[in-house]
Structure 1
């Protein structure tokens, strides 16, 4: 029996992630508070990963304009 030491969860969730080349992540409906401009990656669990490695909670993000 072969057992991998690498977690398989990351490989499975990578298939469901969405990446955008140029998008704006807003914290409010009025689009006054911009959390990020650029290339966000929306993970399968709803968190937004930025190129810097920072994660934005789904509760902090109101919407994303692509």
Structure 2
């Protein structure tokens, strides 16, 4: 018998994401700060903020931890 795939997939997602306690996220122009504070970088490149909002990878120039 095989174990259900969902718990494994969830554990893998948790392993691959990066949680930053204090980050500065810059917008497309590289100068505008669009978020300061904690953030989680998901394996697919999206960034999740503490309130649950997501920032598209296309909207981010760079992130400074």
* TM bucket normalised to smaller: 0.7 to 0.9
Aligned Cα RMSD in Å? 2.0
Higher helix share: 2
Instruction: List gaps (5 residues or longer) in structure 1.
Output: none
More strand by share: 2
Unaligned segments of structure 2, at least 5 residues: none
Task: Tell me the matched-pair count.
Answer: 65
The ranges of structure 1 where at least 4 consecutive aligned residues each deviate by more than 2 angstroms after the TM superposition are 1-4, 6-11
TM-score under structure 2 length normalisation: 0.80
